[in-house]
Structure 1
Amino acid sequence: MHEVGGGVFDPAGELLFLEGVVLDYEARKRDEAESTARNAEIAAHCRTLVSETRPILSVLRELRILAINARIEAARAGQAGAGFAVVSGEVGRIANETAVRATKVAELTEELQKLLRSAA
């Protein structure tokens, strides 16, 4: 074996080791492993976001149903329930708007998960 310009050759002249290439390869593999670990961590956080959004949407569905029931009861109460009808209408509107936004967050998070999987 002999060394020439950072390369190590066997007696037949075959390259056994090239210092810069091996070091660069090892650095790239280390960077790749770190990137994969970061992507896995981000994907885990995305899954948590999606799972945390589901109960919010469930509560909002219940809130909308309660708002509808409150409007029905306010209508039954006639003039005495007019103020309550306004409040229940607002609660329903807020629940609907929040549900739209929570659904959008879940969709964006799922899209981010897909992008991370395709980048891996």
Structure 2
Amino acid sequence: MHDPDCLFCKIIAGQIPSSKVYEDEDMLVFKDIHPAAPVHLLMVPKLHIPSMAQVGAEQAPLLGRMLAKAPELAEANGCNPYPQGGFRLMINTGDEGGQEVHHLHIHLLGGPRPWKKG
């Protein structure tokens, strides 16, 4: 599925440029344009899923692959190793949950603290 009005669908389609750090058949990962931490990546499934509220069992393998890729992406993009280093994964869901783009995405944040509040 693709939503022609969705910002992330347009980025996935190459209609809007991004600072891509990883891509495979299922996901695109790029740098957030307004980073809240020294490392701030957006992990976006290529399948248009509006939010976690629409995720079903059929998306479990996709989300599992995305989560399993996170440690490699974190290290490759400057996060310090566990346990002294580390990273945070965050999924905002809906307006009250802070979701600004209604295409499911995982924020990967890391790097030396303190980070910006928000």
Question: If the TM-score is normalised by the length of the shorter chain, which range does it land in?
Answer: under 0.3
Larger Rg: 1
TM-score, normalization by structure 2: 0.25
Structure number with greater CO (CA < 8 Å, separation at least 6) is 2
More helix by share: 1
| TM-score w.r.t. length of structure 1 | 0.25
More strand by share: 2
